[in-house]
C-alpha cells in the first residue's frame, strides 16, 4: 500500500535499528512497495549482554530480516568507526529507530549516550545528505500526564522517557536552525504486531497473552485490568505514520496512536475469541507503584499535518496478527 505520493524507487533509505521490530517492518514495506529503492539497514544485532534488570541490551534479530534483499551493516551507534561506514552513502531518507528502548533500564549514562549523544551524529548525517529524517520519539515522554497526552505537555518519569524528551528538544533546535530540512519525531504509543517477538519480555501484551493462551494457560492480568487502558496501535498504522511523515507540512513532533484507549481485559477477551478458547482470566496484584492507568494519544495535529489516521481497531489488529502469533508459537515456543 502506498501511503503517500512520494516515489521511493531509486531513493537511498537508511533504517537504523532495522533488525528490530519497527525498523524491520519499515524495511519490508519499502522492499515490497518500492522494489527499486536502495535500503540500508544499520543495526548492532542481538548480543548475549544484559542490563542489570536481566533484559537483553539489544533486540535486533536476523530472523526479522529473512527475505530482506537490501544492504546490512552491523554497527553500534556508539562506535564512531561503525558510523563512518554510513558516510559512503548519499541518503534521501533516514528512519532512525535504533535506541535503548527498555523503560526499566535505570543506567542513565548508557541511555543518554546511546539515545541522545548519537542523535547529534544522525542529525549531522541528515544535514550532510540534505535528507528527510523521521525519528522514533515515544509516549514515554509523557510519564503520568493525564489523557489525552498532547505534544508539548511532557513529564518523563524514567531515563528512557527523558532521553526521548531530550531528543525532541534537540530536534526542535536543529530544524529551527536548518529550516530547509524536514525532521519529524513520532511519539509511538503501545505498538503491537509481527516481528516484535524478539523483544522478549518487552514485547506487547498482545503476543505475550496470546502465547499464554496457546499454552492452555489462563491469561494473567493485573487486578482491575478492565479499568487499565492503553492506546494500542497496530504496526501497519505505525508504518503508515512513518511514510506519511515524509510528506509532512512542517517539521515537528507528532503522536502516533489510535486516540481510542482500550483495556488490558479487552486484549485477553479478543485473543480468546480469535483463538477459540474460553479460559478463565487469572488476576494478580499490580506490583508497580504509580502505575499509569490511562493513555490516549491526542492525534488531531497528526491528522492535520501528516494526514495520519489509524485504520486498525484493536479487534482488527489482533485478527490480522493472530496467524503470526500462532506461527511464532509453533516455531519458537512449543
DSSP string, 82-138: HHHGGGGS--SEEEE--S---TT---HHHHIIIIIIHHHHHHHHHHHHT-EEEEEEE
Confirm whether 278 is domain-assigned. no
Residue 263: predicted pLDDT: 98
**Interatomic CA distance for residues 137 and 331, integer angstroms:** 32
Residue 50: predicted pLDDT: 81
Number of structural domains the chain divides into: 1
Confirm whether 100 is domain-assigned. yes
Element (H, E) at 164: helix 159-177
**Interatomic CA distance for residues 211 and 325, integer angstroms:** 7
The pTM assigned to this predicted structure is: 0.96
Name residue 149's beta-bridge partners.
297
Give the domain extent around 120. 12-192+235-257+294-312
DSSP 222-290: ETTGGG-EE-EEEHHHHHHHHHHHTT-SS-EEEEES-S--EEHHHHHHHHHHHHT--PPPEEE----TT
Confirm whether 4 is domain-assigned. no
Confirm whether 307 is domain-assigned. yes
Which three-class secondary structure state does DSSP give residue 32?
helix
**Interatomic CA distance for residues 309 and 265, integer angstroms:** 24
Catalytic residues: 160, 199
Confirm whether 270 is domain-assigned. no
Could you tell me which of 134, 136, 129 has the C-alpha nearest to residue 114? 136
Confirm whether 5 is domain-assigned. no
Q: Torsion-angle region of residue 292: left (phi > 0), alpha (psi -120 to 50) or beta? A: beta
Confirm whether 223 is domain-assigned. no
**Interatomic CA distance for residues 209 and 264, integer angstroms:** 10
- Which cell goes with 27? 524495511
- Identify the CATH number of the domain in which residue 165 sits: 3.40.50.720
**Interatomic CA distance for residues 126 and 274, integer angstroms:** 44
**Interatomic CA distance for residues 135 and 22, integer angstroms:** 11
Per-residue pLDDT of the chain (334 residues; tens, 9 = 90+): 889 999 999 999 999 999 999 999 999 999 999 999 999 999 999 988 888 887 777 889 999 999 999 999 999 999 999 999 999 999 999 999 999 888 888 899 999 999 999 999 999 999 999 999 999 999 999 999 999 999 999 999 999 999 999 999 999 999 999 999 999 999 999 999 999 999 988 899 999 999 999 999 999 999 999 999 999 999 999 999 999 999 998 999 999 999 999 999 999 999 999 999 999 999 999 998 778 899 999 999 999 999 999 999 999 999 999 999 999 999 999 8
Confirm whether 183 is domain-assigned. yes
- Which cell goes with 146? 493525564
- Which cell goes with 217? 494457560
Amino acid at each position: 500500500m502506498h501511503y503517500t505520493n512520494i516515489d521511493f524507487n531509486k531513493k537511498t533509505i537508511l533504517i537504523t535499528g532495522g533488525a528490530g521490530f519497527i525498523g524491520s517492518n519499515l524495511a519490508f514495506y519499502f522492499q515490497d512497495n518500492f522494489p527499486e529503492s536502495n535500503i540500508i539497514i544499520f543495526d548492532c544485532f542481538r548480543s548475549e549482554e544484559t542490563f542489570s534488570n536481566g533484559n537483553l541490551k539489544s533486540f535486533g534479530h536476523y530472523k526479522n530480516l529473512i527475505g530482506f534483499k537490501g544492504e546490512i551493516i552491523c554497527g553500534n551507534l556508539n562506535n564512531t568507526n561503525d558510523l563512518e561506514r554510513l558516510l559512503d552513502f548519499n541518503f534521501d531518507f533516514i528512519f532512525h529507530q535504533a535506541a535503548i528502548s527498555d523503560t526499566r533500564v535505570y543506567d542513565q549514562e548508557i541511555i543518554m549516550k546511546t539515545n541522545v549523544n548519537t542523535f547529534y551524529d544522525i542529525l549531522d548525517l541528515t544535514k550532510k545528505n540534505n535528507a528527510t529524517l523521521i525519528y522514533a520519539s515515544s509516549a514515554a515522554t509523557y510519564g503520568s500526564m493525564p489523557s489525552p497526552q498532547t505534544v508539548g505537555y511532557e513529564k518523563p518519569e524514567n531515563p528512557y522517557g527523558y532521553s526521548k524528551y531530550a531528543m525532541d528538544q534537540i530536534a526542535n533546535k536543529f530544524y529551527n536552525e536548518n529550516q530547509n530540512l524536514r525532521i519529524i519525531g513520532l511519539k509511538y504509543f503501545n505498538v503491537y504486531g509481527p516481528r516484535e517477538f524478539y523483544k522478549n519480555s518487552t514485547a506487547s501484551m498482545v503476543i505475550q497473552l496470546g502465547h499464554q493462551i496457546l499454552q492452555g494457560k489462563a491469561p494473567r492480568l493485573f487486578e482491575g485490568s478492565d479499568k487499565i487502558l492503553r492506546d494500542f496501535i497496530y504496526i501497519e498504522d505505525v508504518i503508515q505514520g512513518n511514510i506519511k511523515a515524509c510528506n509532512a507540512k512542517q517539521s515537528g513532533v507528532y503522536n502516533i496512536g489510535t486516540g481510542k484507549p482500550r483495556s488490558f481485559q479487552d486484549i485477553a477477551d479478543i485473543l480468546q475469541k480469535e483463538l477459540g478458547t474460553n479460559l478463565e482470566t487469572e488476576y494478580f496484584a499490580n506490583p508497580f507503584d504509580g502505575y499509569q492507568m490511562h493513555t490516549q494519544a491526542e492525534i488531531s495535529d497528526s491528522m492535520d499535518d501528516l494526514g495520519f489516521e489509524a485504520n486498525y481497531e484493536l479487534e482488527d489488529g489482533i485478527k490480522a496478527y493472530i496467524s503470526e502469533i500462532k506461527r511464532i508459537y509453533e516455531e519458537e515456543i512449543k
